[in-house]
Amino acid sequence: MSGDTPMNKESMPKVAVIGAGAWGRNLVRNYHQLGALTRVCDADGAVLAQLEKQYPLARPCLAYADVLSDPAVQGIVISTPAETHFGLAREALLAGKHVYVEKPLSLSDREGEELIGLAEAKGLTLMVGHLLQYHPVFVRLKELAVSGCLGRINYIYSHRLNLGKIRREENALWSFAPHDISMILALTGEEPESVQATGGNYLHHRIADVTTTHLNFPSGIKAHVFVSWLHPFKDQKLVVVGDRKMAVFDDTMPWSEKLLLYHHEIVWRNNAPVPARGEPERVAGIPEQEPLRLECEHFLRCIANGTQPVTDGREGLRVLRILNASQQSLNTDGAKIPLKASAPGEKPKGENALAYYAHDTAVIDKNCEIGAGTKIWHFSHVLTGSRIGENCNIGQNVVIGPDVTIGRGCKIQNNVSVYKGVTLEDGVFCGPSMVFTNIINPRAEISKMDQVRPTLVKKGATIGANATVVCGVTIGACAFVGAGTVITKDVLDHALVVGNPARPSGWMCRCGEKLSRRLACPACGASYRKSGNGLTVK
């Protein structure tokens, strides 16, 4: 990879970076330097304002839909929290964009399979950000292992330890171990037949701060991955023990000392093994290059040439399977979890393989339609005759139906009931514990289901936490209902309403920002004009 010729900036594929946080900024910088950056999308307007000054050609925006609909964008680079990877990557593939997604590929094996199947069906590149596979030092180490220089590999162990970064959205296993697992799979050329993982939760009772994962391979190779963000010093080390030589890749050392070979041997004397120690040898001639830049260049070449990435979707799925098995072992006090290796040429299921995900405690009645990619969480109930579109997120303790229609990409937060007569169009957000009604004057002892009044919530509308929507109204497209607001009459498109009863308090952009008096968005720059139903984009 390091020997590839530079790409011509004129024919360079153009990409958009989604998520410009601590790591995403590094991706923005590299793609900008390569001449490939055309857009940046982030939910933080302040971050976008700063990036606009630093990278004026990046055209920052808040709305992901604007990136997906931009014909100038050929590739989507996703650097957002892990739980968002599947949804964002899936939308990008469906929009015909090549996709690079930071590790992990997704959170479930089924999601990973669907992304691979979708990319293959559409002939698109799907690449996972296992950065260290592009590190020039690891590339040389892999060459040494494959060439037989180390002899037969006996075991591998890795340390990825530091004080911080402490995460609250994922444990140390999911945060640190994917890189090491990816490198170990590349060195062994096989998948483990079982894994065991143990850990310790010290800062939060549900999030492991320290984990040790043991991988057992069919060939007899053993591998161990030790990760922690609760460690007194930084240690990033990969040790490969062969029967001829031993190699140490220490990423905390200066470049010339990052890869050392030890000519240690075990000799037998008087029927006893005796170690014969050799002096460490620095591996010279490794070009000093930024691994992330090489990884970014690799993604661009794969788009341009139609070649398969080193860390493609299948490689990402192999790592994901090990992560999920390791998590299962963690949850069962270190039980050994068997793994089934991928069959040669095995293809994951296609675009419609993953109908939806429902937690074990969720109840789905018969005669319901639920779109691919939708997630239904703890203790929720979907009643008969209801239809839910693709890629929705239904929170905990939600009741839907009977005979309710919900569009694509909706998010319904915890403790919401969507009763018969309510229709949600695409992209509707329902905040926690907000209330729909369907009868204007209900009585407990008198059935009035023949008096159901229809309620329509139009595309892109947001309803805040604890709001109440009295039945028989229409909430306009991209309208914004403030927390605790009581809706008793129709709400115009893009209107911001608050209070009890609801009263107008301004206008909202489709990106979720309040418009200025001139009906312009200070975040994304969109301009609007008044119409009979509220506002429309100029």
Expressed as residue numbers, the domain containing 53 is 9-131+292-311
Largest CA distance in the chain: 98
Q: Are residues 123 and 160 in the same domain?
A: no
Predicted pLDDT of residue 349: 41
Local confidence pLDDT in tens for the 538 residues of the chain: 544 555 666 678 999 999 999 899 999 999 999 999 999 999 898 899 998 889 888 889 989 999 999 999 999 999 999 989 999 999 999 999 999 999 999 998 889 999 999 999 999 999 999 999 999 999 999 999 999 999 999 999 999 999 977 777 689 999 999 999 999 999 999 999 999 999 998 988 788 999 999 999 999 999 999 999 999 999 999 999 998 899 999 999 999 999 999 987 676 777 777 777 778 899 999 999 999 999 999 999 999 999 999 999 999 999 999 999 999 999 998 999 999 765 444 444 433 334 678 887 889 988 888 988 789 998 999 999 999 998 899 999 999 999 999 999 999 999 999 999 999 999 999 999 999 999 999 999 898 888 999 999 999 999 999 999 999 999 999 999 999 999 999 999 999 999 999 999 999 999 999 999 999 999 888 899 999 899 998 8
101 alpha carbon, distance to own chain's centre: 7
Q: Is residue 401 part of a domain?
A: yes
Q: Is residue 4 part of a domain?
A: no
Residue 487 belongs to domain with CATH number? 2.160.10.10
| Cα-trace Rg, the chain | 27
Q: Are residues 307 and 326 in the same domain?
A: no
Q: Is residue 351 part of a domain?
A: no
Q: Are residues 186 and 217 in the same domain?
A: yes
Q: Are residues 183 and 247 in the same domain?
A: yes
Q: What stretch of H or E contains 143?
A: helix 136-147
Q: Are residues 386 and 428 in the same domain?
A: yes
| Amino acid letter, 268 | W
Predicted pLDDT of residue 353: 38
Predicted pLDDT of residue 57: 81
Q: Is residue 343 part of a domain?
A: no
Q: Are residues 378 and 299 in the same domain?
A: no
Predicted pLDDT of residue 221: 95
Burial of 340 (0-12, 13-18, 19+ CB in 10 A): exposed
| Angle between the N-to-C axes of helices 136-147 and 172-188, in degrees from 0 to 180, rounded to the nearest 10 | 40
Q: Is residue 352 part of a domain?
A: no
Report field, pTM of the whole predicted structure over 0.85? no
Q: Are residues 243 and 306 in the same domain?
A: no
How many domains, in total, are found in the chain?
A: 3
Dist CA 81 CA 18 (whole Å): 11
Q: Which phi and psi (to 5°) does residue 232 adopt? A: -70, -20
Q: Is residue 498 part of a domain?
A: yes
Dist CA 11 CA 467 (whole Å): 51
Determine the number of helices (DSSP H) and then strands (DSSP E) in the chain: 9, 41
Q: Is residue 353 part of a domain?
A: no
Q: Is residue 102 part of a domain?
A: yes
- Beta partners for 436? 469
Residue pointed to by tokens 């109908």: 355
Residue 50 belongs to domain with CATH number? 3.40.50.720
Question: b vs e for 307-316, b when ≥16 Cβ sit within 10 Å of the residue's Cβ?
Answer: eebbbbbbbb
Predicted pLDDT of residue 7: 63
Q: Are residues 127 and 139 in the same domain?
A: no
Residue 196 belongs to domain with CATH number? 3.30.360.10
Predicted pLDDT of residue 243: 86
Dist CA 497 CA 495 (whole Å): 6
Q: Are residues 184 and 215 in the same domain?
A: yes
125 alpha carbon, distance to own chain's centre: 16
Q: How many CA atoms lie within 13 A of 438 on its CB side?
A: 19
Predicted pLDDT of residue 188: 93
Sheet holding 60-61, edge to edge: 60-61, 37-41, 15-18, 75-78, 98-102, 126-129
Q: Are residues 501 and 364 in the same domain?
A: yes
